[in-house]
Chains A and B, each alone.
Chain A
Amino acid sequence: MRSEPVVQVRDLVKRYGTKTAVNGLDLTAEAGVTAVLGPNGAGKTTTIETCEGYRRPDSGAVRVLGLDPVRQSAELRPRVGVMLQSGGVYSGARADEMLRHVAKLHAHPLDVDALMERLGLGSCGRTSYRRLSGGQQQRLALAMAVVGRPELVFLDEPTAGLDPQARRATWDLVRDLRTDGVSVILTTHYMEEAEQLADDVAIIDAGRVIAKGSPEELCKGGAENTLRFTGRPGLDVGSLLKALPADSTAAELTPGSYRVIGKVNPQLLATVTSWCAQHGVMPDRISVERHTLEDVFLELTGKELRS
């Protein structure tokens, strides 16, 4: 794998009229899979489209594979695959016809039939684009992004509106791209998608990156994790607390319902259950709540609904 970043965005500003879509955004993506998460209107698509060379930055610098996406576009385009959020295909073109066409624009394309089969499009190759279902259109756009064997692909909401099977197929493809050494930058609304696929996650809000790191790193930060169990009311919480690591807390919230807050890991779970065993307590309904990326996301971007 290469050591230099595949994408470097420094202090990017992009305005549309009086509206500032991207406001001093910094983003470095290393080889691998980077997910860009953010609420609607956060600036995800504008950032991606600036990297794709569609928009000129009002200020700041963008480098993709070390090149300027606008001025060195001719050199960059063959090395990069692009999946737009929607459209991009002649409405009268058949699915396989369009994919074959994009393949012809490249020197060493993938086998079109195998790729169609792989993405579950094998049976609708002769169907015209406008008659494909939304999910099939999405997968065709994905196929068009990878057929030229690029080094880097940009996927703008690749699984929006897909059914669970199609989403799995897309995830499997992204994992194979990664394994084969293709870097992927994807935007998504789905936390699960970012947790499943990404080596790195950048959370964008109001045109800036507000958090970045691996899914594990992001989930570790912020609030502590929680372990709950129920048992006999009136247990000696003080003695439980002595058994736990120093930074933990334990409390009986309602009679018979206990909560431990701290670093939830297998050791902590073992400590709690062995303490229960010593005290002749059967911990019913024991559960752990670990921080998910969704919690982190909502904490950072606010829970209120935005327009």
Chain B
Amino acid sequence: MTTATDTGTGTFTPRPGAAPLPRMIAAQAALETRMLLRNGEQLLLTVVIPTLILVLFSSVDVVDTGSGKSVDFLAPGVLALAVMSTAFTGQAIATGFERRYGVLKRLASSPLPRWALMTAKTASVLVTEVLQVILLTVIALALGWSPHGNPLAVLLLLVLGTAAFSGLGLLMAGTLKAEATLAAANLVFLLLLVGGGVIVPLDKFGGAQSVLGLLPISALSDGLRDVLQHGAGMPWGDLGILAVWAVVGLGAAGKFFRWE
């Protein structure tokens, strides 16, 4: 990096130029990740709540999780919850306030292209998810979790789930006021936590089960459970549901997102 020091005349002599794209994207992704990890409320959502749910419900038998060890039922659900907390809730709230505080507007006049900003945001979400998955996997293994199945199917589910939740999160952040996004994103998180097969098996909801099964969180937790608990192959049905949500969510976000 070429620098000039403050020695009066000549300091500001124009020497414009954009940094190379990979450097811009890496810098943006690093900044976004730092902002997320520094934010206490975000950490509560992305780390503390999934960890507590995993530890608490695995050790104390308050929810009937069917036959087998409860951690085998809970671990896939909590992984799905972690993806939702970062890609949907966390991203919606952070982006909503960035829009509100003019951050997106200011960055739009920097050399960073918009698509590169979105790429950096996605990278930041993926980095956070990797950290979450490592943490939760270690805890679950310590609690006696014995995962099965095809790692590729798991990866595909996590990636499509991230795409689906990101689209919905950005749609919310780019159309609602920041405060409304904050409230709605938390409410949706809570509702989907209860009604999305994360800790409560969907068959407890009787007739509503078939509708609830179409939610992205249900598809993700159900797909992960099929693979990790029951050792199933590719869960095409759940992957299909997630793909539809991803296309609809990202398409709508692309069309309706307002930058300021």
Give the residue name and chain of the A residue nearest to B3 (CB).
A111
Select A89's contact among B5, B14, B34, B101, beta carbons within 8 Å.
B101
B207 within 8 Å of A (CB atoms): no
Select A110's contact among B12, B31, B102, B110, beta carbons within 8 Å.
B12
Q: Are B19 and A149 in contact (CB under 8 A)?
A: no
Q: Are A118 and B6 in contact (CB under 8 A)?
A: yes
Known: A77-B18, A105-B19, A105-B111. A144 touches B106 (CB 8 A): yes
A289 within 8 Å of B (CB atoms): no
Q: Are B35 and A90 in contact (CB under 8 A)?
A: yes
Q: Which residues of B contact A110 (CB under 8 A)?
A: 3-4, 11-12
B67 within 8 Å of A (CB atoms): no
User: What's the Cα separation between A19 and B184 when bound, in Å?
Assistant: 32
Q: Are B15 and A52 in contact (CB under 8 A)?
A: no
Q: Are A90 and B101 in contact (CB under 8 A)?
A: yes
B16 within 8 Å of A (CB atoms): yes
Q: Are B15 and A88 in contact (CB under 8 A)?
A: no
Q: Are B17 and A91 in contact (CB under 8 A)?
A: no
Select B16's contact among A79, A92, A102, A111, beta carbons within 8 Å.
A79
B135 within 8 Å of A (CB atoms): no
Q: Which residues of B contact A39 (CB under 8 A)?
A: none
Q: Which residues of A contact B24 (CB under 8 A)?
A: 104-105
B233 within 8 Å of A (CB atoms): no
Q: Are B27 and A87 in contact (CB under 8 A)?
A: no
Pick out which of these stretches binds chain B: A178-186, A204-212, A255-263: A178-186
Q: Are A114 and B5 in contact (CB under 8 A)?
A: yes
Known: A105-B19, A149-B13, A176-B11. A93 touches B97 (CB 8 A): no
Taking CB atoms and an 8 Å cut-off, the chain A residues in 121-167 that contact chain B are: 144, 146, 148-151
Q: Are A88 and B101 in contact (CB under 8 A)?
A: yes
A288 within 8 Å of B (CB atoms): no
A61 within 8 Å of B (CB atoms): no
Select A111's contact among B6, B27, B28, B113, beta carbons within 8 Å.
B6
| SS of A interface (majority) | loop
Most buried by B among A90, A106, A151: A90
Q: Which residues of A contact B11 (CB under 8 A)?
A: 110, 114, 176, 180
Q: Are A177 and B12 in contact (CB under 8 A)?
A: yes
User: What's the Cα separation between A53 and B259 when bound, in Å?
Assistant: 13
User: What's the Cα separation between A60 and B12 when bound, in Å?
Assistant: 33
Q: Are A106 and B17 in contact (CB under 8 A)?
A: yes
**Min CB gap B102→A, angstroms:** 3
User: What's the Cα separation between A74 and B260 when bound, in Å?
Assistant: 19
Q: Are A89 and B106 in contact (CB under 8 A)?
A: yes
Known: A77-B110, A77-B111, A91-B101. A108 touches B27 (CB 8 A): no
Besides A77-B110, A107-B17, A148-B110, 13 other A-B contacts (C-beta < 8 A):
A84-B106, A87-B102, A88-B102, A88-B106, A89-B106, A91-B97, A93-B35, A104-B1, A104-B24, A108-B1, A108-B15, A150-B16, A179-B9
A-B contacts, 25 of them at CB < 8 A, read A54-B260, A79-B14, A84-B105, A88-B106, A89-B101, A90-B98, A90-B101, A92-B38, A93-B35, A104-B23, A105-B27, A105-B28, A105-B111, A106-B19, A107-B17, A109-B2, A109-B3, A118-B6, A149-B4, A149-B14, A151-B16, A176-B8, A176-B11, A180-B12, A181-B13
Q: Which 5 A-B pairs have the closest CB atoms?
A: A87-B102, A107-B17, A88-B106, A114-B6, A180-B12
